[in-house]
Structure 1
């Protein structure tokens, strides 16, 4: 089994993710590939051209994790990201609606704030010095049929993370900065990276 991480500039990535330049995707998406992780700044115009390939990959049983603000519908079931109106941290706080193996063992509060500090920071201190909104500042309101919402954001409870079945495969959509950025020991979420890889591998 192989898991691809498709980015704008190829390189090496540990922990079972084979990092490729997104423009290598048609050649790299061979029979042993089980999952594809798309960075938030991936070229969506190019992916629209690859839609038949991606639809076929998922319907046959593959898994795709999409990060960022979808504006070009490059896969069956995707909808467009919408910017959220917000004024303060409660407008950006996450609520977990359903459990998902990618976020297993994590606390939604751990994703709300960023600071310039290294190492763990107590939540009360994060509320005082942290900046909210790095996890996401938008939502997906028009979900595909049968979609499962994982997290909602803010007081409006708008969906930010959801997944859905497409044929024999699954698609997971995160409407914010790349999830791998949030898999850190300082947040107590370092196990999330392995969980992402396992989900993409179909485990």
Structure 2
């Protein structure tokens, strides 16, 4: 089996970030489950915090800086995506949504996606179902059944909540690995290939700032 590429999107704003910590653990669980199935794994970690200004510029101008274009390439050409956001005001963060908005709406069609979120209280766990799932359903992504929400108590180490979190992470990673193995390997996006995401996936109007959709 050829190597599978997993893009890990983390929308945390702080350093260190609980979102990145959760994203990394989900990536490890997915990689372990894929290794059991005989697949090599390449993980592309994308910290949206590092691209915040470039994402804003892209939304205004319709053009991405080279480093943001590389991040977009990694996401749309991946075999699967792990997407983790902090929960702000009972939903995904503005930075997370802004990055999703600069992707072509068709670029994630059929891509297996594992959703994760973190927040200070367990009360926000439903954001996975009423905010994140509808967003990726609109994009026609293949979202795995288990989403993983981590509250502050889940990171306590000796807290009883840590075991359920570990179990949810393992189950979600296994589900994503199963979804990946059912799917044909993705190929790297080539900006000079008319069949890559810069050709069919992203229309010329989209590259000019979404003019075709206005």
| TM-score over 0.5 for the pair | no
Return the structure number with greater strand share.
1
Return the structure number with greater helix share.
2
TM-score, normalization by structure 2 = 0.37
